[in-house]
């Protein structure tokens, strides 16, 4: 396959810039696409070429396959990098690229089909011998059958309504004694809620961790894993902090999970970068959750401890090169990533789009800022609220936490509200510092993570605010030179304006 010379990056924000940086280092030209809301965005200026693709809503611009392909042709791009989100896991887009003779930097459509839909993926994984959360795929005809099944997989279990979701018809059952009454109430609740009393059973996982394995494959069937990422710090299934190595993994468990992840990827003839997500329970059993058939947001932590450039590897794999390594490198040191969101934690994490009036990013040793914004940029209203990913490296986890704290303390964003203070509280929380935090960590500790007020700092703030007000008043007095003499006679209207009025 020929070398890629020009890449269209079918994305926006930090990930578009991330991909373009590697392209630039590889001597590959880049093409940006932008919606009406992104004309002023940084990825437009970072690229060598840039084309408009439609109105702000992504379904009218970034998700319109024909527009993207049209730009690829017009600009002479020979490959498309989809980033994450948008068209990155869209098998029909992969087929359209193929038809247009443009290299899609990602897995083949068939692998996406096999992993795209959750129940299909689950079935495929069971077939391949990959452990999934134990449970019945079909509802039960009688209570007896159900009870036998529950005993077989072992308590605690979950009863789940086949017909719906949202917590309705769900019952956690601790032991055989509780089974009968739970069964009855689950069925009646399911009937009331969904008009369907079918109920199935899944194993209840205690304090699960979200641990994912990065996999990588070339076009010749060579498939390796690149160790894990611990992503249990989640809020509403949104990852907030990620790290590697996982503090709960032993080398043995890492090897075992890595092996299973490679098995999963091979089962679908995977090519390129992918991530196999697992739940790990309190007994350190692990179960397949889903596979993300693309680059992950949190790939920088893997890059820190392996020294690899995953985007460069993706491009090389798409060019038909063989994998440059045959097994996972032993993780070197520790890396933590925190996601900086334009949101206000104190107002229920309400999004906070708007204009960034001032921005200062952290520097110094082993700090990486993957940002998609700049001072003067108005964070648009239409897309993901993540404005940057800050990641750090250090020899040990404790040092990495200290470094992340230091870096966050240097991060200043003005004009919009961000979660920086929340991230600091998160990293300081004893449960996080301890390392064994599960997926309910953030929800359980919501109040503690809101932070406590230091009265000494509040007093300093009052002093500062008085000086601020004084300076403001002095400046106003200066801009209104005559106001000092004449007093408040003009009723707050500046004499400049007054003068102008008089002239009209």
In the complex, which residues of this chain contact a second copy (CB under 8 A)? Answer: 17-18, 21-22, 24-27, 300, 303, 307, 309, 332-333, 360-361, 363-371, 374-375, 395, 399, 402-403, 405-406, 409, 482, 495-496, 499-500, 502-503
Taking the complex as a whole, the smallest distance from the CB of residue 333 to a second copy amounts, in Å, to: 6
295 within 8 A of 260, measured Cβ to Cβ? no
Q: Specify whether 294 is catalytic.
A: yes
Residues 196 to 225 in contact with another protein, rule: CB under 8 A: none
| Residue 95 binding: pick among a second copy, another protein, none (C-beta 5-8 Å cut-off by kind) | none
> Choosing among a second copy, another protein, none, which partner's interface includes residue 361 (Cβ < 5 to 8 Å by kind)?
a second copy
Q: Where are the alpha helices (DSSP H) in 175-309?
A: 176-194, 251-267, 299-306
Q: Tell me phi and psi for residue 407, to 5 degrees.
A: -65, -45
460 binds, among a second copy, another protein, none (CB under 5 to 8 A by kind): another protein
Q: How far apart are CA 261 and CA 413, in angstroms?
A: 39
* Position among 5, 25, 39, 395 found at the interface with another protein (CB under 8 A): 39
Burial 376-401 (b: 16+ CB within 10 A, else e): ebebbebbbbbbbbbbbbbeebeebb
CA distance 40 to 34: 9
Q: How far apart are CA 303 and CA 321, in angstroms?
A: 20
Q: CA–CA separation, 24 vs 41, rounded Å?
A: 18
- Position 48 contacts another protein (CB under 8 A): yes
- Check residue 452 and report its DSSP letter: -
Is 352 a binding residue for another protein by CB under 8 A? The answer is: yes
Specify the residue, 350 or 433, whose C-beta has the smaller distance to a second copy: 433
Kindly state whether residue 342 participates in binding another protein, applying the rule CB under 8 A: yes
The string of DSSP letters for 348-401 reads TTEE--EE--EEE---STTEEEEE---TT-EE-SSS-SEEEEEEEEESSHHHHH
Q: How far is CA 122 from the centre of its chain?
A: 23
Rounded least distance, CB 321 to a second copy, Å: 15
In the region spanning residues 266 to 305, those forming contacts with another protein, defined by CB under 8 A, are none
Among 294, 316, 397, 403, the one annotated catalytic: 294
* 390 binds another protein, rule: CB under 8 A: no
With H, G, I as helix, E, B as strand and everything else as coil, classify residue 203: strand
Report the interface residues with another protein, using CB under 8 A. 32, 39-40, 44-51, 74-75, 342, 347-348, 350-354, 357-358, 375-377, 381-385, 408-409, 412, 414-415, 421, 424, 451, 453-454, 457-471, 473, 488
Known catalytic residues? Answer: 294
């Amino acid at each position: 396959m020929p070398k890629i010379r020009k890449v269209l990056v079918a994305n926006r924000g930090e990930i578009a810039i991330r991909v373009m940086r590697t392209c630039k280092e590889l001597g590959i030209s880049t093409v940006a696409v932008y919606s009406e809301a992104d004309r002023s965005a940084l990825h437009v200026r970072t690229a060598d070429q840039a084309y408009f693709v439609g109105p702000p809503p992504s379904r009218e611009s970034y998700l319109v396959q024909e527009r993207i392909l049209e730009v690829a042709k017009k600009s002479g791009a020979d490959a498309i990098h989809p980033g994450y989100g948008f068209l990155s896991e869209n098998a029909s887009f992969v087929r359209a690229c193929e038809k247009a003779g443009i290299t899609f930097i990602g897995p083949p459509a068939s692998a996406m089909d096999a992993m795209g839909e959750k129940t299909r993926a689950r079935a495929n994984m069971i077939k391949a011998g990959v452990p999934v959360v134990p449970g019945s795929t079909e509802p039960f005809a009688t209570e007896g059958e159900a009870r036998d099944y529950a005993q077989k997989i072992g308590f605690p279990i979950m009863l789940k309504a086949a017909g719906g979701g949202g917590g309705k018809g769900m019952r956690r059952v601790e032991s055989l004694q509780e089974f009968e009454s739970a069964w009855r109430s689950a069925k009646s609740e399911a009937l009331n809620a969904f008009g369907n009393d079918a109920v199935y059973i899944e194993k209840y996982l205690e304090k699960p961790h979200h641990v994912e394995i990065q996999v990588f494959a070339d076009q010749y069937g060579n498939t390796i894993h690149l160790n894990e990422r611990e992503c249990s710090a989640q809020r509403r299934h949104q990852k907030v902090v990620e790290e590697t190595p996982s503090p709960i993994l032993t080398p043995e468990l890492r090897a075992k999970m890595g092996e299973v992840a490679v098995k999963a990827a091979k089962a679908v003839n995977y090519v390129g970068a992918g991530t196999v997500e697992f739940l790990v329970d309190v007994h350190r059993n692990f179960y397949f959750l889903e596979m993300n058939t693309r680059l992950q947001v949190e790939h920088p932590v893997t890059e820190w401890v392996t020294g690899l450039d995953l985007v460069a590897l993706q491009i090389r794999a798409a060019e038909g090169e063989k994998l440059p390594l045959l097994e996972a490198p032993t993780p070197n040191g520790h890396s933590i990533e925190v996601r900086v969101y334009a949101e206000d934690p104190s107002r229920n994490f309400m999004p906070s789009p708007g204009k960034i009036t001032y921005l200062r990013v952290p520097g110094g040793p082993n700090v990486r800022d993957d940002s998609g914004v700049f001072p003067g940029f108005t964070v648009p209203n239409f897309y993901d609220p993540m404005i940057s990913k800050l990641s750090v490296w250090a020899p040990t986890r404790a040092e990495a936490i200290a470094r992340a704290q230091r870096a966050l303390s240097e991060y200043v964003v003005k004009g919009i509200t961000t979660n920086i203070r929340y991230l600091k509280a998160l990293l300081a929380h004893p449960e996080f510092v301890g390392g064994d935090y599960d997926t309910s960590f953030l929800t359980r500790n919501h109040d503690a993570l809101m932070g406590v007020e230091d009265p000494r700092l509040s007093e300093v703030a009052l002093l500062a605010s008085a000086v601020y007000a004084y300076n403001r008043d002095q400046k106003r007095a200066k801009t209104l030179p005559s106001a000092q003499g004449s007093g408040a006679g003009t009723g707050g209207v500046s004499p400049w304006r007054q003068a102008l009025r008089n002239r009209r």
